[in-house]
Amino acid sequence: MVYLDHNATTRPTPGVVEAATRAMAEGWGNPSSVHRFGQEAKHSIEVARGQIANLLGVKGGGRGIVFTGSGSEAIGLGIGGVMRAMKATGKRVVVTSSVEHSAVRGICGQMESDGDWGIEVRTVGVEGDGVIDFDALREAVDDDVAVVSIQWVNNETGVVQDVGAIGELCRERGAVFHCDATQWVGKMETSLEGEDPKRGSLIDVLTCSPHKFHGVKGVGILWARSDRERRVRLVPMVPGNQELGRRGGTEGVPAIVGAGVAAAEATAWLSRGREDRERLLGMRDRFESAVIERCSALIGERVVVNGGGADRMWNVTNVGVPGLEAEALLLAMSERGLCVSAGAACASGSLEASDVLVAMGVEARVGRGSVRVSLSRETTDAEIDEGIEIFCKSVEVVGRSMV
């Protein structure tokens, strides 16, 4: 099997599996218990919190970090929790983009449709390459805006947004900047308390999910800025005493411990410099070039890369095959041992082009035939070679069946 669907989820590393298993077998005490066994479990959570703080580039052991049950829950808290906390200010507007993950669109839609919230959501479009229309964003963010929620990296195309420029705009307008960093964290350096806006120093609330960087599922991460000059308040969506009262419910210790190990391993990988990422970028580009050339010849029409003109994460390509159906392509590839995706795993099953590609203005016959291929730091050249062959063979077979 060739697995090239790492934006959906990644394989937990042996170190992560060992740590999570040990926590289940030996450290299963309740972290809220005052006895020694419970406090040992609590200590393991705090160790993990510190490991994640190192990955995110925050100091003080990561007291601004909140563990949730998933990345989607973290997003719900990051947007909804801040909106509740800012109710007294009279600011009731959320600004987001047309290419956000469904978790962002879902909580925004829920707040807007629920009259008890009294929320207005403003959605900003993108250019044809998937980059935010910054002029439209600037116009949308006025004095009524409480939260701006823009992703760092698009999960379907890998397009990277300029979080430094967005953060500067939010500071200028007095809005809280929430960033869904699910596809950035663990793949590129993050320094939330550093000096570099391009590494997140102007982000106020960041959310991510460890299973995207070789952790296990069942835990999400939220970080909220807590410095004196720009402290972000959160009203919990799930009340309780855990996580300093910011998210109730007994913590999932094994998943959290695994997240900590995954963060430590990602930090070590990133500390080795750019060489390995450049190697993997070369593998992505080699895959891209090969399938464009060969598949264009097979179908007699130019195969394209959606978002290919923008700054993209090193591990993603979204290949549009005009006139074919992504579902048929995915089935043909799966039968031959290649695991890829038509977009977000959360939105699979649709025969239509994804909302992201529609928002980018991708032609319908291209969007319906678009397939996402995503690598991880574990991807090998042999997998890329085999992936190219299976991808092209599948395009040939599906294309022949539609003649």
> Using CA atoms, how far apart are residues 3 and 337, in angstroms rounded to an integer?
8
The beta strand positions in 69-110, using DSSP E, are 93-97
List Cα–Cα distances, 249 to 46, 78, 107, 237, in angstroms.
16, 17, 20, 11
> Using CA atoms, how far apart are residues 106 and 76, in angstroms rounded to an integer?
9
3-state secondary structure of 177: strand
Q: Which residues contact 33 (CB under 8 A, 6 or more apart)?
A: 39, 41
What is the maximal distance between C-alpha atoms in the chain?
70
* Among 159, 204, 196, CA closest to 178: 204
> Using CA atoms, how far apart are residues 149 and 273, in angstroms rounded to an integer?
30
Q: Which residue has the tokens 């308040």?
A: 233
Cβ(176)–Cβ(148) below 8 Å? yes
Q: What is the CA radius of gyration of the chain?
A: 21
The angle formed by the CA atoms of residues 165, 361 and 120, to the nearest 5 degrees, is 55
> Using CA atoms, how far apart are residues 252 and 242, in angstroms rounded to an integer?
11
Cβ(16)–Cβ(262) below 8 Å? yes
Q: Which residue has the tokens 């080699």?
A: 286
Region of 218 please: left (phi>0), alpha (psi -120 to 50) or beta: left
DSSP at 32: T
Active site residue 346: yes
3-state secondary structure of 330: helix
Q: Both tokens of residue 58? A: 């925050």
Q: Both tokens of residue 264? A: 């430590």
One-letter amino acid for residue 236 of the chain: P
> Using CA atoms, how far apart are residues 318 and 120, in angstroms rounded to an integer?
32
Which of 179, 339, 346, 392 is flagged as catalytic? Answer: 346
Which H helix or E strand runs over 358?
Answer: helix 355-359
Which amino acids are annotated catalytic?
Answer: 346
